[in-house]
């Protein structure tokens, strides 16, 4: 392997100086500007150079003052804005605090009002409880009174039935002018003869004509006998007479009256309560297919068919029960 000779060259002096220069050596912007000024003023007289240097310094001072003034103005504006913002925030906080105080007062008022309402409601609840207790007591008393009233009405009804238990009612009897008690007794006497029932004078206790409209030509007669046996004999005699004389049933001629024949109907004398009950029972018998509805000793009876048991109708409530028990409903 052959060895080659390498020739080393020495670098230029300016490079050596540049490389050997201290790294920390630098010039300020002012020095650079001064250097540039000097470079640009090369070839000028010293007086001219001095004037130019003074102008540059004066321009730098003017620029610095303007920047300072602008910064001072900006700072003042920022301060004013911050003050205004703080003032606005303080005002807003004051308003909020005032509103909060008002809301607190309103809440306190509402709380007191609610407390008053609660107390009033508690008082009303107590009063309602008291009223409910009073109503409950009154309801119990009403039931007791109704029971007593029903018992009293039943007793009165029984007394009325006992009073009229020996009486019958002859309906549709023609009126006669200047009618006397004796005429009425004669009518009853003639009736008994027509049905072949013997009556003694003392068997008839009283005969009276029931009130009616003045223009009506007929009205009812109430005949009171001395006992229930005679009453039953008269009613049974009329029933048998009507069966035997189907074409000439009991009428005004059988009482000895010369007026045109008018049908006469004989039944037991009933109290007002019994009359209404009998009317309702007959209506029920028709609608519910009861075979029989009749009166016996002042009581209303029903029978569904010929061989069935008889039913004593006690009152209107009893009729409603009988209607609800009807088969098929």
Summarised one tens digit per residue, pLDDT across range 163-221 is: 999 999 999 999 988 889 999 999 999 999 999 999 998 999 999 999 888 889 899 99
Residue 22 has a pLDDT of 47
Q: What is the DSSP letter of 251?
A: B
Radius of gyration of the chain (CA): 68
Distances (CA, A) of 307 to 292, 318, 323: 11, 22, 20
Distance CA 264, CA 280 (A): 23
Query: What average pLDDT does the chain have?
Result: 82
Residue 15 has a pLDDT of 45
DSSP string, 265-325: EEEE---HHHHHHHHHHHHHHHHTT-SEEEEETTEEEEESSTTSPPEEE-SHHHHHHHHHT
Residue 29 has a pLDDT of 45
Residue 186 has a pLDDT of 93
Q: In terms of Cα–Cα distance, which of 286, 294, 290 is closest to 312?
A: 294
Residue 185 has a pLDDT of 94
Q: What is the DSSP letter of 263?
A: B
Q: What is the DSSP letter of 209?
A: E
Distances (CA, A) of 221 to 209, 224, 264: 4, 10, 10
Distance CA 268, CA 297 (A): 7
Angle between helices 272-287 and 316-324 (to 10 degrees): 10
Which residues are paired to 174 by β-bridges?
Answer: 218
Distance CA 314, CA 156 (A): 14
Q: What is the pLDDT along the chain (329 residues), one digit of tens a residue?
A: 444 444 444 555 544 444 444 444 444 444 544 544 444 444 556 666 666 666 555 555 556 778 888 888 888 889 889 999 999 999 999 999 998 999 988 889 998 999 999 999 999 999 999 999 999 999 999 999 999 999 999 899 899 999 999 999 999 999 988 889 999 999 999 999 999 999 998 999 999 999 888 889 899 999 999 999 999 999 999 999 999 998 889 999 999 888 788 999 999 999 999 999 999 999 999 988 899 998 888 889 999 888 889 999 988 888 888 887 655 55
Residue 177 has a pLDDT of 85
H or E stretch including 1? none
Total number of residues shown for the chain: 329
Residue 38 has a pLDDT of 47
| Number of CB atoms found within 10 A of residue 151's CB | 10
Residue 258 has a pLDDT of 82
Residue 19 has a pLDDT of 45
Q: In terms of Cα–Cα distance, which of 99, 42, 33, 23 is closest to 63?
A: 33
């Amino acid at each position: 392997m052959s060895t080659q000779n390498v020739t080393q060259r020495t670098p230029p002096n300016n490079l050596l100086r540049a490389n050997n220069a201290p790294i920390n050596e630098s010039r300020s912007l002012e020095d650079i500007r001064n250097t540039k000024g000097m470079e640009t003023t090369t070839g000028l007289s010293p007086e001219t150079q001095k004037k130019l240097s003074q102008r540059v310094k004066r321009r730098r001072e003017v620029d610095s003052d303007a920047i300072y003034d602008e910064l001072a103005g900006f700072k003042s504006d920022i301060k004013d804005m911050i003050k205004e913002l703080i003032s606005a925030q303080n005002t807003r906080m004051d308003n909020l605090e005032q509103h909060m105080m008002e809301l607190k007062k309103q809440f306190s008022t509402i709380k007191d009002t609610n407390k008053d309402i609660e107390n009033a409601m508690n008082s009303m609840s107590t009063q309602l409880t008291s009223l409910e207790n009073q109503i409950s007591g009154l309801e119990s008393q009403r039931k007791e009174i109704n029971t007593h009233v029903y018992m009293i009405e039943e007793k009165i009804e029984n007394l009325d039935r006992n009073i009229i238990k020996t009486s019958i009612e002859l309906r549709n009897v023609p009126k006669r002018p200047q009618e006397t008690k004796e005429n009425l007794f004669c009518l009853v006497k003639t009736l008994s003869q027509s049905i072949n029932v013997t009556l003694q004078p003392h068997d008839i206790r009283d005969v009276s004509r029931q009130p009616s409209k003045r223009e009506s030509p007929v009205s009812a007669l109430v005949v009171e006998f001395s006992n229930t046996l005679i009453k039953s004999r008269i009613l049974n005699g009329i029933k048998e007479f009507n069966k035997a004389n189907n074409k000439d049933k009991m009428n005004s001629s059988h009482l000895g009256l010369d007026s045109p024949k008018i049908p006469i109907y004989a039944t037991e004398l009933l109290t007002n309560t019994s009359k209404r009950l009998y009317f309702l029972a007959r209506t029920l018998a028709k609608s519910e297919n009861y075979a029989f509805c009749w009166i016996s000793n002042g009581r209303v009876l029903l029978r569904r068919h010929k061989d069935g048991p008889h039913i004593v109708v006690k009152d209107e409530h009893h009729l409603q029960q009988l209607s609800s028990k009807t088969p098929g409903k």
